[in-house]
Structure 1
Amino acid sequence: MTAALISWGKGRRAAAAIGAVSLGLITLSACEKPTALATVTVGSTTVTSEATKGCDGDGEALDQAKFRSCLSNQGGKTITVSPGEKVRVGVEPDIAERGWLAFAGEGGQGVSKTHQTYRTIDSSQLFLKQDPQTGQTSTLKQVTLQVAEFPKDGGQIPATIFHFTLKQKD
């Protein structure tokens, strides 16, 4: 009987060791570099997004073709904005360290490059579209807000672009 208990105890320890090793391997395989996030807040509503698919150069400047393609992207997570309401844009500290900017609408209205983690934009200009031929201004119902992270080397072509849809509340 004693031999059976000793044998059973060794089997249990071996199973526990195999389980610990398996768990360790699963944990290691799940370790990936965390994805950077950008956040937009309007009033008490907040949306957070990862970089737009195909618009993340992993810290390096996007090539020209990818950059042009990313600039023409529409969409992203949606948030509603009342006329005159403030749009707050936030980024993670590592993005702020490299520098970033946010812009929206047909004319690219927004904020200049910053190294802060948080900026506020007055929405009154974001929904305006000016006709280049007549100069007349019209109001859009929705625009795409783009948050562009600059590359590690300090270049001027963004490394990452995040997209959000701003819908103007009626």
Structure 2
Amino acid sequence: MTQAPATTAFSRARGLRSRRGAAALGAVVLSAFALSACEKPTPLAQITVGSRTASTEAQCYDDGKNIPNEELETCVSERAEKSITVDSGDPVRIGVEPDIADNGWVLFVDGRLVTPTPSKHTYASYNSDQFFNTQPSQPGQAPVPSEKAKVGIVEIDDSGNYKGAWSFDLKRKQP
């Protein structure tokens, strides 16, 4: 009679272990399925001012395939998802992932091309004052700088094909 309780306890433990194993296996399968449904993230671009950084994925990106001009113009004209505030004279550092730098990238501010030749670097630094247009003022008054600027980073290959676009809003810090 001493044998039966041990066998029963052993079979209960084995049943419990197999249920736990099945539950763990089910969780692994569900996790793998959930991950396979996710989209592959696009390369990131970022802007850093002082100790503050804003990063974003591309507004337009098709896994490195060419993007037609019309689509790129639409993407670049959309509202930026990320913004960062700058003081006058602050250094603004722009960083891109190596995948973007391998092709090259150009910088636009408020739709104006700022860097005529594509950069193959992952990092560039600018003075924040370069980003703000000077607004015409009343006759006889000093020009007034704009309060915000839309910065566009556009990946472009050696053939002039657009590959992706990232954008940020820069806001001038108010005194």
Fold conserved (TM > 0.5)?
yes
Q: Is residue 2:57 matched to residue 1:43? A: no
Distance 1:73 1:149, change over 3 A: same
Specify which of 113, 118, 139 is matched with residue 113 of structure 1: 118
Matched with 2:146 is: 140
Q: State how 1:1-170 maps to structure 2 within 5 Å.
A: 1-29=5-33, 30=35, 32=38, 33-52=40-59, 55-110=60-115, 112-128=117-133, 139-150=145-156, 154-170=158-174
In the aligned structure 1, how far is the partner of 2:126 from the partner of 2:115? 7
In the aligned structure 1, how far is the partner of 2:127 from the partner of 2:73? 26
- Cα deviations by residue, 1:114-141 (Å, 9 ceiling, x for unpaired): 121111122222212588xxxxx76221
Q: Greater CA deviation, 3-12 or 115-124?
A: 3-12
Shift >6 Å, 4+ stretches: none
Distance 1:117 1:111, change over 3 A: farther
Q: Is there any run of 5+ residues in structure 2 with no aligned partner, and where?
A: 137-142
TM-score if structure 1 supplies the norm length?
A: 0.80
**Residue identity in the other structure for 1:4:** T
TM-score if structure 2 supplies the norm length?
A: 0.78
- Cα deviations by residue, 1:71-97 (Å, 9 ceiling, x for unpaired): 322333111122222210111222222
Q: Are the aligned partners of 2:42 and 2:63 in contact in 1 as well (CA < 8 Å)?
A: no
Q: Are the aligned partners of 1:98 and 1:150 in contact in 2 as well (CA < 8 Å)?
A: yes
Distance 1:165 1:157, change over 3 A: same
Q: Are the aligned partners of 2:76 and 2:166 in contact in 1 as well (CA < 8 Å)?
A: no
- CA RMSD in angstroms, aligned pairs only: 2.4
